[in-house]
Amino acid sequence: MDAVLNERLNAIATRLGQLPHGGKTAFLKAEAVKLNMSVAKLYKELEQVMIKPERKKRSDAGKTALSREDAQMISACILQAMRANNKKLGTVEETVKFLIANKEIDPTRVDKSTGEVITLSVSTVTRALKQYRLHPEQLLRPEPVTHLRSLHPNHLWQIDASLCVLFYLPSEKKKHELALQVMREQEFYKNKPQNIAKIVKDRVWRYVLTDHTSGVIFVWYVMGGENSENLCEAFIQAIEPKKDRLRFPFCGVPKMVMLDPGSANTGFGFKNLCRQLGVEIIINKVGNPRAKGQVEQANNQIERDFEGKLSFIRVNSLSQLQAAANEWMMLFNSDKKHSRHGMTRFQAWQKIQADELRIPPPADYCRELVLSRPVERVVANDLTISFEGRTFDVSAVPLIQNQDKITVAKNPWKPFSAQVQRFDEHGKAYWLEVPEQIVDGFGFAVNAVIVGQEYKTHADTEIQTNAKELEKLAMQADTLEQAEQKRKAQDLPFGGRIDPFAHQEQVLADNKVRYMPKRGQQMDYNKMDVQAAILNKVELAKLLKPRADAIGFDWQTAMQRLQQHYPDGAAESDLDAVFEHITQPEIKLKLLRRTGTHG
């Protein structure tokens, strides 16, 4: 029957092609009656056997009457409305209408045949948006995925915190109830925010960490929400060797961690812990959750395979919840094969090499590192620094100088030790361990020089080396000994060829400025009084006492005369006269009584 129908349809198609315009419709209706089918059905059957001529491409194909500027404005307005609540507010037609009303666009064209001005249809505008690659559906497509590759286990970890939507711990007033309860949708669904607010501080959060290379999943449950303290504790629990290491081998400090840009993730505590453990922090760009899609998928895995089953059992505490999670992690990581490498996650992680597995210090010491802020210290003249009550030797630190400032922090790999921050040729910071300066019972450094038995000095610093080179350059010497000999011989620096005043003549010659003499008044120097220097009593005594002693005159007598006759001192030019005055012999007059008769 199909062969007969196809033959009949071919005959109709051939006849249809021979009929003039206007005579095809009546012919098809008559043939449809003969075949006992509708005209529409006949058209559909004919499409299967007719060979359609290739449609000629329009001469204006790929062109549009809507300008690119108008298309950009239409698309920007639609996207702006969608950003408010991530829903499409208004159609292209509505957007075009209010943009025309605001005279922001002009989506019209002139019909060449009639000269009529026609507003572009919505379908035409939509096609133009797609042609310009400006349609919102095109712009909202996710960005192309960039595949990330890590080199080995513990090369990169991804960390993410999520709210455990199934369980919460009750407050102290509800001790009679179960310690861990299911959040039933009827009680806590989104239209009852007051119920969620009651238990917001009691909700359980989970921190999920994944090893990018092997895919190992680690989960740690906490209370109190997403904060720096919980993040640090989850990270410490992940890096520490587990109690049952034969069944749970995952541990060690990664080289890098990738997190979202939350305040807890970028806070001081976690950044300080990572900095001292030598872990580089990679913060994802805002709005790009796919960058750490592995840990996002791990969250889904935990919700589905672990938390989804907890409603069948009674969980009485957070520690019990974590113990159940530990059992699930050991089973999942050792049983489920990863689709990328075809091994279980623990099998893939076991391929880590010895130099790639960095065992962390004890958990308590790691918690100290969280609060141990790096500090700045000044290098002493003996190339040591003081830190936390102890002294450390930094003489072996490259390019270190006394009086330099250096950043020091606890050494995470060795308790009671320190590390200092340095920078490589690319400006990247790294930490260098420095030894503690050990002292003996008398407080002397044990590596100090013993008097009379040995002699040693610190290796030359960069400054000392530069100073020695400059000394040889100045004295034109090949060795420091030659330079010292030339210094003793009082040789001139640089062989005497440098004249320090040579530039003055050139400067004066180049200076074209000349100064006009200023008018003044001549001093009448002929009337100037020249006064002799006046010596006070003390100065006179110092000068006259040696002369009085030389002639054997009593100085006590001379000093009394000096104080009596020259209380204000005397001129230096009168020194001889003063000396004669105070050393004159004392004249004693004797009164003689006249005797005889009255006359």
- On whether the CB atoms of residues 212 and 222 are closer than 8 A, the answer is no
User: Where do the DSSP E strands lie in 311-383?
Assistant: 375-378
Looking at residue 345, its pLDDT comes to 94
Burial code of 97-110, b = ≥16 C-beta within 10 A, e = fewer? Answer: eebeeeeebebeee
Q: What is the pLDDT of residues 149-193, one digit of tens each?
A: 889 999 999 999 888 865 665 544 454 444 444 455 444 444 444
Distance CA 16, CA 29 (A): 12
Please tell me which residue, 593 or 93, carries the higher pLDDT value. 93
In this prediction, residue 176 carries a pLDDT of 43
What is the predicted pLDDT for the residue at 158?
A: 93
Residue 101 binned pLDDT confidence (cut-offs 50, 70, 90) = confident
Higher-scoring residue by pLDDT: 116, 280: 280
pLDDT for 590 equals 59
Please check the confidence at residue 97 and state whether its pLDDT lies above 60: yes
In terms of average pLDDT, the best of 184-198, 453-467, 536-550 is 536-550
Paired sense of beta strands 203-211 and 156-168, if any: antiparallel
pLDDT digits (tens, 9 = 90+) for 365-409: 888 777 677 788 998 888 888 887 788 888 888 878 888 888 888
Quote the pLDDT of residue 599. Answer: 45
Mean pLDDT of the chain: 78
**What span, in angstroms and rounded, lies between the C-alpha atoms of 200 and 169?**
10
Q: What is the pLDDT of residue 589?
A: 55
Averaged pLDDT, 73-92: 68
pLDDT tens, 423-436?
A: 877 777 777 888 88
CATH 3.30.420.10 is right for the domain spanning 156-356:
yes
pLDDT at residue 539 in the model: 86
User: Residue 400 in contact with residue 394, Cβ under 8 Å?
Assistant: yes
80 sits in the region (left: phi over 0; alpha: psi -120 to 50; else beta) called alpha
Flag whether pLDDT at 334 surpasses 90: yes
Residues 6+ apart with CB under 8 A from 35: 5, 8, 42
**Least confident range of 133-137, 162-166, 193-197, 258-262:** 193-197
% of the chain exceeding 90 in pLDDT: 16
The confidence score (pLDDT) of residue 342 equals 92
Q: Is 278 left (phi over 0), alpha (psi -120 to 50) or beta?
A: left
253 — pLDDT class (breaks 50, 70, 90): very high
Q: Give dist(CA 595, CA 592) in Å, integer.
A: 9
> Highest mean pLDDT: which of 18-32, 262-276, 459-473?
18-32
pLDDT above 50 (res 228)? yes
Stretch 433-460: mean pLDDT: 69
Query: Taking the mean position of all CA atoms in its chain, how far away is CA 312?
Result: 47
162: left (phi over 0), alpha (psi -120 to 50) or beta: beta
In the chain, what is the greatest distance between 2 CA atoms, to the nearest angstrom? Answer: 214
CA 472, CA 481: separation in Å to the nearest integer? 9
Average pLDDT, integer, range 310-338: 89
Question: Per-domain residue ranges for the chain?
Answer: 2-49, 68-139, 156-356, 375-459, 534-582
Q: What is the mean predicted confidence (pLDDT) over 240-263?
A: 89
* pLDDT score of 56: 57
Contact 153, 338 (CB under 8 A): no
More confident: 36 or 463: 36
* pLDDT tier at 341, thresholds 50, 70, 90: very high
SS3 state at 36: coil
